[in-house]
Amino acid sequence: MPTTQSSEITAASRLENVRYAIRDLACVADEVAMQGHKILPLNIGDPNVFDFVTPAHLIEAVYKAMKDGKNGYAPSSGIKEALDAIRGEAGRKGITNIRDIFVTLGVSESVDICLTALLNPGEDILTPCPDYPLYSAVLAKLDIGLNTYYLNEEDGWQPDLGDIRRKITPRTRGIVLINPNNPTGSVCSRKMLEEIAELARRHNLVIFADEIYDKLILDDDQHISLAAVAPDVPVVTFGGLSKNYLAPGWRVGWGVVSGDNAAVKPYVEGINKLLRARLCANHPEQYAIKPALEGPQDHLIEVRKKLRSRRDLTVKACNSMPRVSCVSPRGAFYAYPRLDIPEGDDVFVKELLLQKHVLVVHGSGFGQKPGTKHFRIVFLPDEKTLSSAYAAIGEFMRERYR
């Protein structure tokens, strides 16, 4: 007779450190919605959920590719026309000394592959605090401890150079820079980029420049690519179609490796081993990359206009609420207000959802300086929705924290 397996199959212990606060809250929101309440969602950075539409010429390019039979495997690094278009875009951003380009399943896969190809047990990379939780999740999967550097709220959320210097050890292999930043919306100055590049140069570090929001600059600033100011430094620049081109569900991202060839060659070989092992990224969707990067950019005018107006509404509303202050974001579509409350920001977020049905994300899910509390707002919804949400948050603040 067959025996019955009675022992529990446990997950790997390193997964205990994997957190993804943005989606973890959705479970509570589902329970609130099942009670008949309408949720005002300010938590997910998906433009397509709101009044943003993927440009038609990109959809047509993918549709044509599917009709033309481009539904099998693609080359592991990506199709030639996509790679050529990415190279051209990198050149327009001032990136030279390009050593490799590859297409992935969103920037998420680029990050996973690039960190996996670099880090050995006991080593680390510097990640910003606050940061997008993907990085800490990948590091947890690799059983790599966190080594975070602070962003300075008093300096518009610019990286704290002194903290970066203090955190570099002989086991540090790289620095992550998210620019524009998620969750704060900050944009780095050229001087800051040059300072970070000099630290990488001095300590033989790889810089991971996450620039997925590079065309969503909300003021008159110019986005400067870190690789453009440091052509000799090993840099992996991440980009994709998700945010600038309003197609997050297509999962189309890429990486551009630049720097001294002798320095990056072994690392590039490691990246390509992993690219081959997972076969390829989505094939037909890659045919949208060339028309996206080389075709009409008209949609960006309207996107930035909407975001600028919604940013201004958000900052004004937050700074008028009791116990809330907000640094004005300069890029992307996130704000990261600070709370002055006697309880945790995770409690604040959950009670706000249960009582006012407004869904935001707690700052502790992204990381923050000890003793500070924040929450992240996605200001993608229309102004009517945002106004309703901010009125509810203000009311909640007055009722709960008199």
The answer as to whether 311 is a domain residue is: yes
**Average pLDDT along the chain:** 94
Clarify whether residues 92 and 206 are in a common domain: yes
In a domain, 125, yes or no: yes
Beta strands 324-325; 172-178: pairing state: unpaired
| End position of a domain, from candidates 294, 321, 351 | 294
Structure tokens at 198: 């000099």
Is residue 305, in this structure, part of any structural domain at all?
yes
Sign of CA dihedral 41, 105, 102, 53: negative
Domain assignment present for residue 3? The answer is no
Domains in the chain, number: 2
Structure tokens at 339: 């709370």
Instruction: Convert the pLDDT of each residue in 210-236 to its tens digit.
Output: 999 999 999 988 899 999 999 999 999
pLDDT at 7: 72
Q: Report if residue 225 sits inside a domain.
A: yes
Write out pLDDT tens, residues 163-202.
999 999 999 999 999 999 999 999 999 999 999 999 999 9
State yes or no: pLDDT of 20 exceeds 90: no
138 and 202 in a single domain? The answer is: yes
- 264 and 384: one domain? no
Looking at 272, 294, 316, the residue that finishes a domain is 294
For the chain, how far is it from start to end, CA to CA, in angstroms? 68
- CATH number, domain at 272? 3.40.640.10
Q: Are residues 277 and 362 in the same domain?
A: no
pLDDT, one tens digit per residue, over 248-294 is 999 999 999 999 999 999 999 999 999 999 999 999 999 999 999 99
Whether residues 49 and 64 share a domain: the answer is no
* Claim to verify: residue 22 and residue 109 sit in the same structural domain: no
Q: Are residues 242 and 357 in the same domain?
A: no
pLDDT, residue 220, reads: 85
Residues with Cβ within 8 Å of residue 308, at least 6 apart in sequence = 218, 219
* Secondary structure of the chain as H, E, C letters: CCCCCCCCCCCCHHHHHCCCHHHHCHHHHHHHHHCCCCCEECCCCCHHHCCCCCCHHHHHHHHHHHHCCCCCCCCCCCCHHHHHHHHHHHHHCCCCCEEEEEEEEHHHHHHHHHHHHHCCCCCEEEEEECCCCHHHHHHHHCCCCCEEEEEEHHHCCEECHHHHHHHCCCCEEEEEEECCCCCCCCCCCHHHHHHHHHHHHHHCCEEEEECCCCCCECCCCCCCCHHHHCCCCCEEEEEECCCCCCCHHHCEEEEEEECCHHHHHHHHHHHHHHHHHCCCCCCHHHHHHHHHHHCCCHHHHHHHHHHHHHHHHHHHHHHHCCCEECCCCCECCEECCEECCCCCHHHHHHHHHHHHCEECEEHHHCCCCCCCEEEEEECCCCHHHHHHHHHHHHHHHHHHCC
- Alpha-carbon span 197 to 210, nearest angstrom: 14
Last residue of a domain, one of 268, 294, 320: 294
Cβ–Cβ under 8 Å, residues 260 and 287:
no
Domain range enclosing 332: 13-53+298-400
- When pLDDT is averaged across residues 90-98 and rounded to a whole number, the result is 96
Q: Are residues 187 and 281 in the same domain?
A: yes
Domain annotation covers residue 7: no
Q: Indicate if the pLDDT at residue 8 is higher than 90.
A: no
Q: In this structure, how many other beta carbons lie within 10 angstroms of the beta carbon of residue 30?
A: 10
Give the model's pLDDT for residue 6: 61
Q: Are residues 92 and 235 in the same domain?
A: yes
Same domain? 217 vs 229: yes
Average pLDDT for 343-369? 94
Q: pLDDT digits over 107-143, tens only?
A: 999 999 999 999 999 999 999 999 998 999 999 999 9
Q: Is residue 4 scored above 90 in pLDDT? A: no
Q: Which pLDDT belongs to residue 28?
A: 78
CB pairs under 8 A, 24+ apart, for 316-322?
Answer: 317/386, 317/387, 317/390, 317/393, 317/394, 318/377, 318/390, 320/394, 321/390, 321/393, 321/394, 321/397, 322/394, 322/397, 322/398, 322/401
In a domain, residue 1? The reply is no
What are the C-alpha distances in Å from 206 to residues 190, 195, 309? 18, 14, 37
Claim to verify: residue 211 and residue 134 sit in the same structural domain: yes
Residue 69 confidence (pLDDT) above 80: yes
Same domain membership, residue 240 and residue 95: yes
**CATH number of the CATH domain containing 326:** 3.90.1150.10
Q: Indicate whether 259 belongs to any domain.
A: yes
